[in-house]
Amino acid sequence: MLIPKKNRREVYKYLFKEGVLQAEKDFNLKEHPEIAGVPNLQVIKLMQSFKSKELVTERFSWRHYYWFLTNKGIDYLREYLNLPSEIVPATLKKSNRPLERGPPMRGDRPPRREGGFGGPGGRDAYRGAPREGGGFGRGADKAGAPGSYQPQFGGGFGRGGPQ
């Protein structure tokens, strides 16, 4: 497909600046939503070409293409756009945001128990201590059903019922 050089440069600039690009699978869309003046079809076809040269990796989900620039693609675009090596895509820049903690604890909530599984409130407290005669509430004095016991099952419903 013949694509004007102006449009090609706009797509390349945007891809290098962001490091990622997305496009809806709508070949008739007049203009790509993020790159002004460039038809969506031209963006998709340029990225299809980049994918075949392994300059981007592609994901497709719910009628949307997602392209991610590879290291080989970064080098190609640097050379094509005549950019110095100090300029990098936004995906490779480290953000300076401080690590955010979760919301502070509210006063009406009790603090968590310490000690893990072995400490107070761990597994042993949940199950109870082993008891004599078998542990966990089963004493030795409990016996099974007598030998003469014959269970009877009446006619049931559904499969296995009387016919």
First to last CA, the chain: 74
Q: Is 82 left (phi over 0), alpha (psi -120 to 50) or beta?
A: left
Q: How many domains does the chain have?
A: 1
Range of the domain at 14: 5-83
pTM listed for this prediction: 0.57
Confidence of residue 137 (pLDDT cuts 50, 70, 90): low
Confidence of residue 89 (pLDDT cuts 50, 70, 90): confident
CATH number of the domain enclosing 62: 1.10.10.10
Contact 19, 69 (CB under 8 A): yes
Q: Lowest mean pLDDT: which of 19-23, 55-59, 154-158?
A: 154-158
Query: For residue 107, is it within any domain?
Result: no
The first and second tokens of residue 56, run together, are 């981007």
Q: According to the model, what pLDDT value does residue 44 have? A: 92
What's the average model confidence in pLDDT over 123-137?
58
CA atoms within 13 A on the CB side of 85: 2
Q: According to the model, what pLDDT value does residue 146 have? A: 82
